[in-house]
Amino acid sequence: MSTNNLPCIRHSRRVVYSLVSLLLLVLVLPLIPYAVAELGDTAGKVVNPGTQLWRDARQRDGSVTGSTQVRGVETGILISRAGEQWRQYRIDWLVPYSALLLGGILCIFFLYYLIRGKIRIEGGRSGQLLRRYTTPEMVVHWLLAASFVILALSGLILLYGRWALIPLLGPAGFSLTATVCKYLHNYVGLFFAVIVPIAFFLYLKDSLFNLKVDLKWFMRAGGYFGGEEPSAEKVNAGQKAWYWVAMLGGFAMIGSGLVLDFPNFQQGREWLQNAHLIHTIASAGVIAFFIVHLYLATIGVEGALESMTTGHVDANWARQHHDLWYEELQAGHGKSAPEPAAPAGGSHAGGIASPVAKD
C-alpha cells in the first residue's frame, strides 16, 4: 500500500467512526428516559397526567387547597376525605350500634317486666301522703321531659327514617316528615338549651352523691333483682346517676347542637363533623338511660309517677323506697316538710300528712 494513500484511509475511518457514533447516539439517547423509568419509583407504571390532579381533589395525600372565586370556609376543597369518613361512621357504626343499644334495652326491660312485674307498695297504700316535689319542680320536669321527647323522636326519625319510614310513607312522604322533624329539632333544641341549665340548678342539691349510702345502693342494684331494698335518701343512687347523665349529656347535646345549627360562625367541616360525633353519642347514651327512667317511673314501680303529677307520694311508698328521707321527715328535720294532701281538715303528725281518700 502506497504511503500516499494513508491519509485518505485515515480520513475514511474517521468518517465511518463518526457516522457509527452518531447512529448509536440517535438510537440510545431516546431509550435513556425509559431506562430511568424502569429503574425509578414509577417502574412499570403508565403515568396519567390527570392522576395527581384527581389525588389532590380527593385529598389522598393530605389537605390540598385549590383556587376558587367563591369566598368562604374551605371553599377551595372540592372533595373532603373527612366527609367520607363521617359518612362511613354514620352508616356503619352509628345507625346499627345505636339501634342495637336502644332495641336491646327495650327487650331487656320487656323481659324484666314479664318476670318481675310491677314493684308494688309493700303493705298497700296507707292513705297518708307526703309532699315530695313543689310546683316549680314539677313544671320544670315536664317542660324538660316534653322537649326531650320531641328532640329524641325527631332525631331518631331523621336517623332511621331511610330504612324504617320510606318503605311505609314512600320517598315523598318521608321527605315531608323529615322536613317537619328537622325544623322541630332545630327550634325545640333552642328551648331545650334554656330549660336544661334551669333543671341543673333546681335539682342539684338532692342529686349530689352520698358515697356511704349510694355505694351500698349500687352494690345491691337498688333491690331490683330481689332481696331487701337498700336505704336511700330523697333521691336514690340510680336517680342521681340519671340526673348526671341527663345533665352532662344535655349540655353536650346543647353545645354540639348549637355548632350544627349555626354554621355561619365560620366553623369548618371538621368542627361540624366532630360536633355531630359528640351529638350522636351523647344522644344515644341519654336516650338509653331515659328508657330506664321511663320504665321505672311509669309501669315499673307503683306510686312513682304520681310524685311528678301530684307532687305527693304515699307514706308507705316513701318508707319502702326512700327510708332515710322518710325518717328525716318524720323526725321533723327535713326542709322538704310535708304539706296537707287535702285542702281541709287534719294536721301533720310526725311529718306525715293527714289521711286522705285512697285513689
Residue pLDDT, tens place only, 222-245:
999 988 899 999 999 999 999 999
Residue pLDDT, tens place only, 89-148:
989 999 999 999 999 999 999 999 999 999 999 999 999 999 999 999 999 999 999 999
Query: Which residue shows C-alpha cell 349555626?
Result: 262
Residue pLDDT, tens place only, 145-193:
999 999 999 999 999 988 889 999 999 999 999 999 999 999 999 999 9
Would you state the pLDDT for residue 185?
97
Domain architecture of the chain: domains with CATH? 81-330 (1.20.950.20)
- Kindly indicate the confidence band of residue 1, based on its pLDDT and cuts at 50, 70 and 90: low
Is residue 329 within 8 A of residue 121, CB to CB? The reply is: no
Integer Cα distance of 325 and 334 in angstroms? 8
Would you state the pLDDT for residue 80?
72
Backbone angles phi, psi at 301, to 5 degrees: -130, 120
Is residue 342 within 8 A of residue 156, CB to CB? The reply is: no
Does the pLDDT of residue 345 top 50, yes or no?
Answer: no
Would you state the pLDDT for residue 233?
96
Would you state the pLDDT for residue 14?
73
Q: What is the DSSP letter of 206?
A: G
- Kindly indicate the confidence band of residue 6, based on its pLDDT and cuts at 50, 70 and 90: low
- Kindly indicate the confidence band of residue 342, based on its pLDDT and cuts at 50, 70 and 90: very low
Would you state the pLDDT for residue 344?
34
Would you state the pLDDT for residue 351?
42
Would you state the pLDDT for residue 62?
59
- Kindly indicate the confidence band of residue 282, based on its pLDDT and cuts at 50, 70 and 90: very high
CA 125 to chain centre: 41
Is residue 356 within 8 A of residue 341, CB to CB? The reply is: yes
Mean model confidence pLDDT for the chain: 84
Contact residues for 83 (Cβ-Cβ < 8 A; gap 6+): 269, 273
Is residue 217 within 8 A of residue 230, CB to CB? The reply is: yes
Distance of CA 3 to CAs 6, 7, 10, 11, 16, Å?
Answer: 5, 8, 12, 14, 21
CA 213 to chain centre: 31
Is residue 177 within 8 A of residue 161, CB to CB? The reply is: yes
User: 49: how many CB neighbours lie within 10 A of its CB?
Assistant: 6
- Kindly indicate the confidence band of residue 39, based on its pLDDT and cuts at 50, 70 and 90: low
- Please count the helices (runs of H) and the strands (runs of E) in the chain: 13, 2
Prediction pTM value:
0.76
